Amino acid sequence: MEPLSLSPTVVTLSGVLIFIFGFIISYLFVSRVLKKQLNETQKHNISLEQNELVLLERLKLAEENIVNVSEQAEKYENRLQQALQIQNQLGADIADLKARLSAEKQSSSEKLQLLQQAKEQMNKEFRDLAAQVMEKNSDRFGKQQQENLSNILDPFKEQLGEFRKRVDHVYDIESRDRVSLLKEIEGLKMLNQQITEEASNLTQALKGDRKAQGNWGEVILERVLEASGLQKGREYETQMHLQSHDGNRYLPDVVIHLPENKDIIVDAKVSLSAYERYYAEEDDSLKKNHLKDHIQAIRQHVEKLSDKKYDDLKGINTLDFVIIFIPIEPAYLLAAQEDQNLFSESLARKIIIVSPTTLLATLRIVENVWRFERQNKNAEEIARQAGRLYDKFVGFVGDIDAVGLRLDQAYKSYEEAKNKLVQGKGNLVRSTERLKELGAKTRKQLDENLLENPTKNET
């Protein structure tokens, strides 16, 4: 059997068909593989998209946390700035008080030195004069003259002792005042810090109760007054019932008395409800609104007080301004930072806004004014007593001179009488002695010195 022979065309066609068949099989296989890979890629992309959404959500939460942390940091920074401002103010007040203490100590030391020198000089002059007078006239004084001199010297000694007691008393008072002032300076910072902390805590607790706020403000004001060193009932009074000339009644929180019959009125009824809401609020936009309300509340209280005619009240003589006391230091500083025109506007209405720190510094100045007033009165009394003592001393010198003159006159009269007794012809001693010689009966004998002198004179 002959082998099958294929034509070249058939062979070529067969090869082409085989190639096409193989290509189709390869295409189907590759397509299947690619489709599988495409499905896996799509699944992977979906997973990536989901992960991306999760990451975006986490990123959003992280950004919100960053914003919250930034807000908290800003709050803490603001509180830190307020604390630093309070610390700086306290440092300035302490430095000022130390400077005043140093000046007062120097002035007191100089006054005491001058008084001591004057006392020593007067004592020295008195001793010298007394020694001279006593040395000159000691052999002429008898018992009666010594009694007269004691009567003259005793009042002078009493005046000198009284003068010394007053000098010692003034020195003791100034020493106690210096010690008291040093203790008050040491406690000033702690006191203001305590007041600020209590103010913040109590303001949160009050929750807008205006009556409670007013009562609490008066308590803080009373503490500041006690810390200032002023005496209640003497340098200041609380809840005074006053009446104007037109019949209206007033009840100011505190009336501070000044020398020369001047007075200052302090009001502590400013509302802090808006500040409490500002302090408790977290939302920035609402905090701004509460801050505006806080400043507006202060401004309205300033306007209300400026309309009251405190200078028309009977029984007091007020200065031409009134003090508004804000018991919370941060509330005072916040208003000052936010509205710089608030204080200038209040001054234009003759209203001064103060905090515990600034009021305490002001009251310390008032206390120093009263102390200087008392010291001046003591100095005037000392000067009056010194003048009186000097006048007494001048009178004493005149009396001593008069005593010396009278002693000289008495001694001269004594010499003249003695001469008549023992000298000259026919003197009394010789005449009486001749009576004895003539036989007069006697029991006593004249002194031999008297008998010798007439004999010498006669010869």
Residues 166 and 249 in one domain: yes
233: left (phi > 0), else alpha (psi -120 to 50), else beta?
left
Residues 358 and 459 in one domain: no
Question: With the CA atoms of 209, 211, 213 and 217 taken in that order, what torsion angle do they form, in degrees rounded to the nearest 10?
Answer: 180
Establish if 345 belongs to a structural domain.
yes
- Identify whether the C-beta of residue 355 lies closer than 8 Å to the C-beta of residue 332: yes
Establish if 93 belongs to a structural domain.
yes
The helix or strand, by DSSP H or E, that contains position 242, with its residue range, turns out to be strand 242-243
In sequence order, the β-bridge partners of residue 323 are 266, 352
Tens of pLDDT, residue by residue, the chain (459 residues): 444 454 566 557 666 666 665 667 666 666 767 777 777 787 877 887 787 788 777 778 777 777 776 777 677 677 767 766 776 776 776 777 677 777 777 766 776 675 566 556 555 654 555 555 555 555 555 555 556 556 655 665 566 566 566 666 665 666 666 666 666 666 655 666 665 665 555 555 455 556 666 677 788 888 888 888 888 888 898 888 887 777 778 888 888 888 888 888 898 888 888 888 888 888 888 888 988 998 899 999 898 888 887 777 777 777 778 899 988 888 888 888 888 888 888 888 888 999 888 888 888 888 888 888 887 777 667 767 777 776 776 777 777 777 778 877 777 777 777 676 666 666 666 777 666 676 666 677 766 666 665 544 444
pLDDT at site 283 = 85
**Dihedral sign of CA atoms 409, 411, 416, 417 in order:** positive
Domain boundary among 394, 412, 435: 394
Question: At 10, which amino acid appears?
Answer: V
- Identify whether the C-beta of residue 313 lies closer than 8 Å to the C-beta of residue 243: yes
From the list 350, 167, 357, 344, the residue with the least C-alpha distance to 264 is: 350
Residues 340 and 445 in one domain: no
Structure tokens belonging to residue 230: 């002023």
pLDDT at site 98 = 73
Establish if 49 belongs to a structural domain.
no
Rounded CA gap, 449 and 447, in Å? 5
pLDDT at site 282 = 83
Establish if 13 belongs to a structural domain.
no
Domain boundary among 344, 375, 394: 394
Q: For tokens 């939460």, name the residue.
A: 61
Residues 312 and 445 in one domain: no
pLDDT at site 459 = 45
Helix (H, G, I), strand (E, B) or coil at 79: helix
370 Cβ partners below 8 Å, 6+ apart? Answer: 230, 235, 259
Residues 296 and 350 in one domain: yes
- Identify whether the C-beta of residue 338 lies closer than 8 Å to the C-beta of residue 291: yes
Residues 361 and 218 in one domain: yes
pLDDT at site 422 = 67
Question: With the CA atoms of 56, 61, 63 and 65 taken in that order, what torsion angle do they form, in degrees rounded to the nearest 10?
Answer: -160
Residues 446 and 376 in one domain: no
Residue span of the structural domain in which 437 resides: 423-459
| Residue 229 DSSP code | T
CA dist list (Å): 437 to 62, 280, 383, 403:
149, 131, 73, 43
How many H-runs (helices) and E-runs (strands) does the chain carry? Answer: 10, 7
404 Cβ partners below 8 Å, 6+ apart? Answer: 133, 136, 137
- Identify whether the C-beta of residue 278 lies closer than 8 Å to the C-beta of residue 328: no
Structure tokens belonging to residue 120: 């020593």
Residues 379 and 428 in one domain: no
Model confidence pLDDT, tens digit, residues 78-121: 776 776 677 677 677 677 767 777 777 776 677 667 556 655 65
Give the pTM: 0.45
pLDDT at site 167 = 60
Establish if 259 belongs to a structural domain.
yes
154 Cβ partners below 8 Å, 6+ apart? Answer: none
93 Cβ partners below 8 Å, 6+ apart? Answer: 188, 357, 360, 361
Domain boundary among 394, 410, 434: 394
Rounded CA gap, 210 and 28, in Å? 89
Q: Indicate the burial class of 222 (C-beta count within 10 angstroms; 0-12, 13-18, 19 or more).
A: middle
Residues 389 and 456 in one domain: no
Residues 295 and 441 in one domain: no
In sequence order, the β-bridge partners of residue 242 are 250
| Residue 259 DSSP code | T
> For residue 203, how far is the Cα from the chain centroid?
26
Establish if 214 belongs to a structural domain.
yes
Structure tokens belonging to residue 40: 């896996």
Residues 379 and 432 in one domain: no
Packing angle of the helix pair 329-338, 8-137 (nearest 10 deg): 110
Q: Structurally, how many domains does the chain consist of?
A: 2
CA dist list (Å): 351 to 262, 267, 305, 341:
17, 10, 8, 13
Establish if 416 belongs to a structural domain.
no
**Dihedral sign of CA atoms 50, 56, 57, 62 in order:** positive
Residues 129 and 260 in one domain: yes
DSSP letter for each residue of 415-449: HHHHHHHHSSTT-HHHHHHHHHHTT---S----HH
DSSP letter for each residue of 264-315: EEEE-----HHHHHHHH---HHHHHHHHHHHHHHHHHHHHHHHHS-GGGBTT
Rounded CA gap, 455 and 450, in Å? 9
pLDDT at site 2 = 45
